[in-house]
Amino acid sequence: MSAEAANPGAHSRRRGRPRLDLRRLGRAALLGPAARHRLPDAIGHVADVHRAHHPDADLAPLHRAYVLAESSHRGQFRKSGEPYITHPLAVTLILAELGAETTTLTASLLHDTVEDTEVTLDQVEREFGAEVAYLVDGVTKLEKVDYGAAAEPETFRKMLVATGNDVRVMSIKLADRLHNMRTLGVMRHEKQVRIAKVTRDVLIPLAERLGVQALKTELEDLAFAILHPAEYERTRALIADNTAAGAVLDEVAERFRAVLRESGITAEVHLRPRHFLSVHRVAAKRGELRGTDFGRLLILVTEDADCYGVLGELHTCFNPVVSEFKDFIAAPKFNLYQSLHTAVAGPDGAVAEVLIRTHQMHRVAEAGVIALGNPYSPAEGAAESAAAADGERADPTRPGWLSRLLAWQEATPDSDAFWSSLRADLAQDREIAVFRADGGMLGLPAGATCVDAAYAQYGERAHACIGARVNGRLAALGTVLKDGDTVHLLRADDDARDDDARGLSRETVSGPSPDWLDHARTPAARIAITTWLEAHPGGTDLPAAAPRGPVPVAVDPPTGTNALVDLVGDDTDTDAVVRLAGCCTPVPPDAVTGFPVRGGVVTVHRQECPAVGRMRSLDRKPVPVRWGDATGCRVTLVAESFGRSRLLADLTDAIATQGAAIVSATVEPPSEQRVRHTYTLQLPDASQLPSLMRAMRGVPGVYDVSRTQHPAATG
């Protein structure tokens, strides 16, 4: 396969700037130096592209870097027979077209000199500064990494950590791989397949996470052509047979332009053909393709507000496909991507997909972190220093996923586990945003659960999590989160402020359950849980319980008039047997009412008890009752909690401390780590009920205590 045949992305490359003949330029570079006071032709083309993005850029470092690279690589040739200097030139041109700043381009020209020539890193630092030397060193280390199945995980781990502190190193590596993929046709097929697989499995996901869509899409097409040649040829034929698709989209674009002109919105409408792999995926999803399926329309405006103005006009004048609308401006994607996505249907039913963004959003969408310039330059409003006090570089443009990766790799002693976790993390093709209770936001992979959110927010402190509230409702830790959910994570140590006063220890809180691994989707969560479980093979080593006094147990009083309640009224039999209803267990000072039931018994209910309404619906005549002078009472309480060790002991201890006697108790089997306890208690004084309920709620793991509201028979 020739280099040209392996370049299916050429059809969608920006028009208006022809691809440079780097072979010709490279050979010309070997013929001698350029004229005095003039850049060599080869680097001159790169400089022109660079100046288009950065008009005030100082080109002197590029000139000096090219001279050093050309002289040091002189006499070296690529396997294709081209002078080796054509490779760093091509890599630098790719980055220049994406808007990379001068430091990155300088390092790109020199990225192979330290590894393949006599040039030393100290020489690079003396001539170009520490920043360029840092980038060249990072790329040199990445060049030594074998990404294949036989890769040494620890080597890759060290390289990733070393280069992860500066995303520009990865940017140069991606451009380097793109040029190598473009010229892969000179290698034997087996090696092409091996390189294409690594590109697909590791480098394309890295490009996605860095937001460099321009590199990602071409790498996808190049890998697609090598790994799936039959499908690629069918897709190429499909595109060739639908040359009229562009005319269909052009017609839709012209209607869009007319609508926007009438509304007074200044906007550019462009046609963006789908790349080969995208067409293949759409065809697999939709079957037969229509003209509008071969591309999308891109609308560029100046201000953020104009994006929503354009959206409103399109949805007013055309039929919107509501299910296709996504707002990545209000909630940007994890790789800095911002845009409005929508789709509208024409009179013939054809659906056109539309992207709406500002010019700045478009630059970031195409070039990702490359478009953000030098993150370490004080002149660009970044960090004041290229290195923090501890030696770690503070990169304000570093995406959240990379920061998390660098954090959880430190907690992974096993390099093989790190490698497999990284591969799994890179395989995630979509990320969701969930909001914390304090208003912050967490970026998580699609399919993440409350377990993942807990470790993303709290790290190892998530071991003490006992549950969560999702959108205000209690949820198990295994609950799968959706984009936009609000998550309030509940930890046992949040409610343990008075543990020491009750003779309890925070160590009584159990650690993560092995079941949590079934719900963990992120490497951070899986690694933290696995590490804890390996360190505690027998579970939590609980300290001996503090000595407690005996728990009093009451018995039912003899049948007869309840001493708490007096019957009132001239026509009431004051000697009737009075019982407090078990469905609502009223206590002073609840508002109560009584109803006669079989056997001459009067049952007393709280007035809000559901049984009262049923009695009245049956035309039962209520009996006036009031609370007497007695102070003791019996009440049934329901405690809702998350399961943990010693929970039952801690609850009964809290009840005994309040002087209440347990008449009966039931504990329902746990359901999704939640446990329901029902206690019938005898209190010496009804006024103690509020403090008793507060004490029970204060037990770690208990999230609610309420009075029972069981349904009751009508008698």
Active site residues: 115-116
CA dist., res. 159 & res. 177, Å (int):
16
Backbone φ and ψ of 102, nearest 5° = -60, -40
CA dist., res. 476 & res. 452, Å (int):
12
Q: Where are the beta strands (DSSP E) in 577-693?
A: 577-580, 592-597, 601-606, 625-627, 633-642, 661-667, 674-683
Backbone φ and ψ of 343, nearest 5° = -150, 145
Helix (H/G/I), strand (E/B), else coil: 601: strand
Q: In what order do the strands lie in the sheet with 661-667?
A: 661-667, 674-683, 633-642, 702-707
Q: Please provide the size of the chain in residues.
A: 715
Looking at this protein, which amino acid is placed at residue 15? R
CA dist., res. 58 & res. 65, Å (int):
13
CA dist., res. 216 & res. 203, Å (int):
9
Exposure of 194 by Cβ count < 10 A (0-12 exposed, 13-18 middle, 19+ buried)? middle
CA dist., res. 315 & res. 631, Å (int):
69
Helix (H/G/I), strand (E/B), else coil: 507: helix
Rounded (5°) CA angle 529-428-489: 45
CA dist., res. 111 & res. 69, Å (int):
9
Token pair for 688 = 């103690």
The CA radius of gyration of the chain, in Å to the nearest whole number, is 35
CA dist., res. 544 & res. 692, Å (int):
25
C-beta separation of 453 from 442 below 8 A: yes
